[in-house]
Amino acid sequence: MKDFVLFVRHFFKILSLVGHVLLALLALMAIAAGVISWAEGMNYWDALYFAAITGLTIGYGDVVPVTAVGRIVAILIGLMGVVFFGIIVAVATRALVHSVEERRGTKSKPD
């Protein structure tokens, strides 16, 4: 349990350094949902659902863009989702390295 707490502490410390980037990506996805809503003629909440499912790279297929603009924005949403989760994985990896180093008593250069 102590190791997990150590990891979580490092995770949120490092996450605070890139939090603005993650929030910007989420805001861009919300804006992209607005564009999807306009281009596809659907309500905003359905478009936001579509953006979330696409950004998470799940892609259920129950909502599908049919216009060229909608398809281009869907591709951009997917790319933003990959970047978003890539950052999360990088933060988790760095937090794991920091927590292992702290547990062993070694120190790397600070972030």
Indicate the pLDDT class of residue 109, thresholds 50, 70 and 90: low
* Residue, of 66 and 109, whose pLDDT is higher: 66
Domain residue extents for the chain:
8-104
Rg of the chain in Å (alpha carbons): 18
Q: Are 40 and 70 in contact, with CB atoms under 8 Å apart?
A: yes
pLDDT in tens, 33-48: 999 999 999 999 999 9
Mean pLDDT of the chain: 94
- What pTM was computed for the model? 0.86
Q: What is the mean pLDDT of residues 61-90?
A: 97
pLDDT at 107: 67
Q: Are 98 and 10 in contact, with CB atoms under 8 Å apart?
A: yes
Look up the CATH number of domain 8-104: 1.10.287.70
Q: Are 32 and 51 in contact, with CB atoms under 8 Å apart?
A: yes
Distance from C-alpha of 104 to C-alpha of 53, rounded to nearest angstrom: 40
Q: Are 33 and 44 in contact, with CB atoms under 8 Å apart?
A: yes
Helix, strand, coil content of the chain in percent (nearest 5)? 80, 0, 20
pLDDT at 110: 60
- How does DSSP classify residue 105? T
Q: Are 69 and 77 in contact, with CB atoms under 8 Å apart?
A: no
Q: What is the mean pLDDT of residues 65-76?
A: 97
Indicate the pLDDT class of residue 96, thresholds 50, 70 and 90: very high
Q: Are 12 and 94 in contact, with CB atoms under 8 Å apart?
A: no
